[in-house]
Chain A
Amino acid sequence: MSENVPDDLHYTRTHEWIRDLANGQVEIGITDHAQDALGDLVFVEVPQVGRELKAGEACAVVESVKAASDVYSPVSGRVVARNDALTQQPELLNSDPYGAGWLMRVARGDAPAGSALLKAAEYLQYIKEPA
C-alpha cells in the first residue's frame, strides 16, 4: 500500500488532494493511494475551464483498464486551468500524482470547505483503516 501523503496538502475521504496556491486558487488531484488502487491509468477527463463547480460534485473521470472512477471537487468555485497533458499522457497521474499529474485549478468560492477536509496525518490514518 502506498503511503506517500505529503504534509503540505489537504485530503478528502474520496481520495482527492488540494493544494492551496495562496492566490485564492487551489490545485486538485488524486492521491498516490488512489492511483495505486486504480492501476495503470488509460484515460483522464478533466472539466472545461470556466465551469462552475459545487463542492462534492463529480467533475472529472479517471479510468484504468479495470475501473473508472469519478473525481469529486473538494471545493466550490470556477475551473481556471486544467491539465491537458493528461489527455495524451494519463500515465503522469501514476508516476507523479502530486506534481505533473495534477487535474485542475479552481478559483475558490466563498465557502471555506476546510472542515470536511483531512490533514495529511488524518488521511494517512484513514487509508490505513481496514475497509
Chain B
Amino acid sequence: MPFIPHTEADVSEMLSTIGARSIDELFEEIPAEFKGASLAGVPAARGEMEVARLLTERAAADGRLLNFIGAGAYEHHIPAPVWAIATRGEFYSAYTPYQAEASQGTLQLIYEYQSMICALTGMEAANASLYDGASALAEACLMAVRANRGSESRRILVPRTVNPTYLKVAQSIARNQGVEFEITEFERRSGRVDMGALRRARGGGPCTALVIQQPNFFGNLEEVDALTDWAHTHGALVIAVVNPTSLALYKPPGEWGGTNDGWRGADIVCGEGQPLGVPLACGGPYFGFMATRLSRVRQMPGRIVGRTLDAQGRPGFTLTLQPREQHIRRGKATSNICTNQGLLVTAATIYLSLLGPAGLGRVAAACAERTEALVRALSRIPGISPAFDSPRFHEAVLKLDRPAAPLLAALAGRGIAGGLDLAASHPELGHAMLVCATETKLDEDIESYARALRDLLSTCASR
C-alpha cells in the first residue's frame, strides 16, 4: 500500500482499541445513499519506477527549445545551491510558520527576503510574497482603493504598456469589488505611456491610482519620474510593476519622481519574482512580491514577518500584523490570501544572496547587452526592424513584413521558441513580435536564431 505503514497486526490492534469491528464501521455516519463512489476512471496504482519512466518519456517528448520568449517569465541561470537547499525537507515539507518557535528557519529566511525586496525596490515594508506577479497587481489595485481614502473613485488607470495578461487577472479578481480599470493608449513611436492619453482619461473623472510598468511590456523604459509626479499631482497613488533583475540597474520605485509635498516615489510596488532563481516550469509556480511605505503597511495583504525578542530577551522572528488577515479579520480582511509562495521565496532569497548587488547587476547588464545583440542580428534581416526607438532593458518588439504566427510555428519546428506574437494583444502594431535574450544566450544562439529566421523569410513568399 503506497505510503501507508500499517501492518495487519497494527490494524486489528487499533480497531480493537477503538472498539470497531472494521475500518468500514468508521464511516458509518456517511449516509448509505451517497456511498459507493466509483473511481473506475482513475488508473491502477503504479510503482515509482513505472511512473518515473512515464514522466521521463513525456519530458523527452517535450524536448528543449532554444528560448527567446520573455513576456513576464524569464530564463536565467539558476545556481546549483538554490534548489539543492530549497528542496531540503526542512524547507520543502514544513507548513506555514504559525508555531514560531519551531519555524525560526523559515521565519528568518522570510525576514531576510523582505529586507532584500525593500533594498531592491527602495521601499520600507515588503510582505512574505503573493501568488505571482499578475495576481500581485490585482491585490495592489485593491490595496490602492483601500489606501487612497481621500479619493472618491474606484477607478484605476492602466496604460496599454502594462502586460495585458496582468490587466486581465486584475479584472477577474478586482471587478467583483467594483474596481474600474480605464485603459489608456501608448505612443506609437516610443512604445511608452502617452501622457496626453493619461490627461484625457483624467478629464473623465478622478482616479485613485495609476499603474506604471518598468520596464514596460514592450521592454521599453518609461519616464517614471514624470508619470509619478503627474499621478501624485492628481491625487492618484502610483502602483509600480517592476522586474526585479532590472532593479540592479534602474532607479528603484521608492525614488521615482520629485518631491511633491513630501510625497515621493511609488506608493505600492509589485512584480513577478520568477526571474530570481525560479525555473520557467511551463508556467508556475512563481511568486509575486509586494512592497509599500511603512505608513501603508496595514493596508497591505499577505503575511509579514517581524523581528522581536523572546522571553529571555534573545532576538527571534514571528508572524506579525496578523489581524489584517483572513483567519482573524474574516470578512473584513485585506484579502482572502492565506499562503504565500514560501518555497519560491526560499529559492529567491538564496539566489539573491549568491548574486549579491554586483552579481545581480552583472546579470541585468548582460541581459540588456544580449538583447541589443539579438535586435541587431535580427534587424539585419530584410523585413525585420525594431518597432520603437526608446531605451530598453531585455525585451524588444520587432516589426515583421508578414504575420508572426506561421514564422514562430516554423521556428518551433527547428527547436527555437522565437518570441511572442503580438497580433492578438496589440493589433495596432501590425505584424509584430516580442523577443527577449537573457544572459543565458550566447553569440552562437543568437546567430542560429538569425540564421533560421533569415532562411525562413527567404524561402517563404512574403505576405
Residues in A lying within 8 Å of B, measured CB to CB: 43, 45, 63-68, 70
Chain B residues near A43: list those with CB within 8 A. Answer: 298
Q: Which residue of A lies closest to B324 (CB)?
A: A68
Check if B323 sits within 8 Å of A64, measured CB to CB: yes
Taken together as a complex, chains A and B put the C-alpha atoms of A66 and B322 apart, in Å, by 7
Least Cβ–Cβ distance between B333 and chain A, in angstroms: 9
| Most chain B CB atoms below 10 A, which of A63, A64, A70 | A63
Check if B323 sits within 8 Å of A70, measured CB to CB: no
* SS class, residues of chain A in contact with chain B: strand
A-B contact pairs, 5 of them (CB 8 A): A43-B298, A64-B323, A65-B320, A66-B328, A68-B323
Taken together as a complex, chains A and B put the C-alpha atoms of A92 and B190 apart, in Å, by 56
Chain B residues near A45: list those with CB within 8 A. Answer: 298
Check if A63 sits within 8 Å of B332, measured CB to CB: no
B426 part of interface (Cβ distance < 8 Å): no
Taken together as a complex, chains A and B put the C-alpha atoms of A66 and B325 apart, in Å, by 11
Check if A67 sits within 8 Å of B328, measured CB to CB: yes
Taken together as a complex, chains A and B put the C-alpha atoms of A45 and B322 apart, in Å, by 16
B414 part of interface (Cβ distance < 8 Å): no
Taken together as a complex, chains A and B put the C-alpha atoms of A67 and B298 apart, in Å, by 13
Q: Which residue of B lies closest to A51 (CB)?
A: B149
Q: A65-B320, A68-B328 are in contact. List 9 more A-B contacts (CB 8 A).
A: A63-B298, A63-B323, A64-B323, A65-B322, A66-B323, A66-B328, A67-B323, A68-B324, A70-B332
Chain A residues near B320: list those with CB within 8 A. Answer: 65
The tally of residues in B whose CB lies under 8 Å from a CB in A reads: 8
Chain A residues near B298: list those with CB within 8 A. Answer: 43, 45, 63
B234 part of interface (Cβ distance < 8 Å): no
Contact with A along B313-341 (1 / 0, CB 8 A): 00000001011100011001000000000
Q: Which residue of A lies closest to B150 (CB)?
A: A48
Least Cβ–Cβ distance between A96 and chain B, in angstroms: 22
Q: Which residue of A lies closest to B322 (CB)?
A: A65
Least Cβ–Cβ distance between A86 and chain B, in angstroms: 14
Taken together as a complex, chains A and B put the C-alpha atoms of A63 and B322 apart, in Å, by 10
B window 294-324: CB within 8 A of A: 298, 320, 322-324
Chain A residues near B322: list those with CB within 8 A. Answer: 65-66
Least Cβ–Cβ distance between A28 and chain B, in angstroms: 20
Taken together as a complex, chains A and B put the C-alpha atoms of A65 and B100 apart, in Å, by 14
Q: Which residue of B lies closest to A68 (CB)?
A: B323
Q: Which residue of B lies closest to A61 (CB)?
A: B298
Taken together as a complex, chains A and B put the C-alpha atoms of A45 and B146 apart, in Å, by 14
Chain A residues near B324: list those with CB within 8 A. Answer: 68
Least Cβ–Cβ distance between A56 and chain B, in angstroms: 16
Chain A residues near B329: list those with CB within 8 A. Answer: 68
Taken together as a complex, chains A and B put the C-alpha atoms of A68 and B298 apart, in Å, by 11
Least Cβ–Cβ distance between A36 and chain B, in angstroms: 17
Chain B residues near A68: list those with CB within 8 A. Answer: 323-324, 328-329, 332
Chain A residues near B328: list those with CB within 8 A. Answer: 66-68
Taken together as a complex, chains A and B put the C-alpha atoms of A26 and B329 apart, in Å, by 29
Least Cβ–Cβ distance between B145 and chain A, in angstroms: 16
| Most chain B CB atoms below 10 A, which of A45, A66, A68, A70 | A68
Q: Which residue of B lies closest to A43 (CB)?
A: B298
Least Cβ–Cβ distance between B259 and chain A, in angstroms: 23
Chain B residues near A65: list those with CB within 8 A. Answer: 320, 322-323
Taken together as a complex, chains A and B put the C-alpha atoms of A81 and B323 apart, in Å, by 27
Taken together as a complex, chains A and B put the C-alpha atoms of A125 and B324 apart, in Å, by 32
Least Cβ–Cβ distance between B362 and chain A, in angstroms: 42
Q: Which 3 A-B pairs have the closest CB atoms?
A: A68-B323, A63-B323, A68-B329
